[in-house]
Amino acid sequence: MKRIAIYPGSFDPVTNGHLDIVERGLKLFDKIIVAIMHNPGKTSLFTIDERIEMLQNSLKKFSNVEIDTFNGLTVEYAKRRKAQGILRGLRALSDFEYEFQMALMNRKLNREVQTIFLMTGFRWIYTSSSIIKEASRFGGNVNGMVPALVQKKLREKFGYTARGTKRKAAKKATSQAAK
Ligand code: ADP
């Protein structure tokens, strides 16, 4: 039987911390489906299509990784995709409580799907999409924390040149969070 895990998240945008979890998850699973959750209640910087493009570009070397999107319950999606596992990453203690509640709720909803946590790679312990966005908004250099394409897209979104100087007419961010 092929072991499949879904790796759900916002990936707004994908960071090297996420990529590390996927790479290590592939040692446990035959296939990983990186699934972008549609969450209308959550404001995002990048559109779903932009997030798909960045994920596809960053994970193209893996033939056993698929990028997808879904609405609704993660366990229902996992069942539809015939996945046995939900992969999640844990950084600091602050992730733990939310992840713990979520894993217990998901188990209550479907006992067949197991949540698997991988501890973050030491290098990525302080890397989060939100902190990357905060730094990029003010022209901070996030080199080495995100893939090159993501760095480029962040610069475009916030109107910075490759040298970190502000462009005259900043490209308008596509969705609410950038305002
Ligand atoms: P969410 O929107 O639920 O915060 P994200 O899209 O940021 O989710 O991340 C998806 C998953 O990846 C979560 O399990 C999160 O804990 C994990 N993750 C995010 N950044 C890192 C990192 N630097 N190291 C390990 N895991 C991470």
Q: Are 170 and 137 in contact (CB under 8 A)?
A: no
The answer to whether the bond into 8 is cis (omega within 30° of 0) is no
Which of the listed residues 33, 91, 142 should we mutate to test ligand 1's pocket, taking the one with most ligand atoms within 8 A of CB?
Answer: 91
pLDDT of residue 169: 61
CB-based burial, 97-132: b 16+ in 10 Å, e otherwise: eebeeebeebeeeeeebbbebbebbeebeebbbeeb
Identify which of 14, 16, 18, 33 to mutate to test ligand 1's pocket (most ligand atoms within 8 A of the CB). 18
In this structure, are residues 38 and 71 in contact, taking their beta carbons and an 8 Å threshold? yes
Give the pTM: 0.91
Whole-number pLDDT of residue 67: 98
Query: In the CATH scheme, what is the code of domain 1-179?
Result: 3.40.50.620
Predicted local confidence at residue 165, as pLDDT: 85
Q: How far apart are CA 94 and CA 121, in angstroms?
A: 16
Parts of the chain with a pLDDT under 70: 169-179
Please give the pLDDT value at position 141: 93
Segment holding 67, helix H or strand E: strand 65-70
Rounded distance from Cα 116 to ligand 1 centre (Å) = 13
Give pLDDT, residue 172. 55
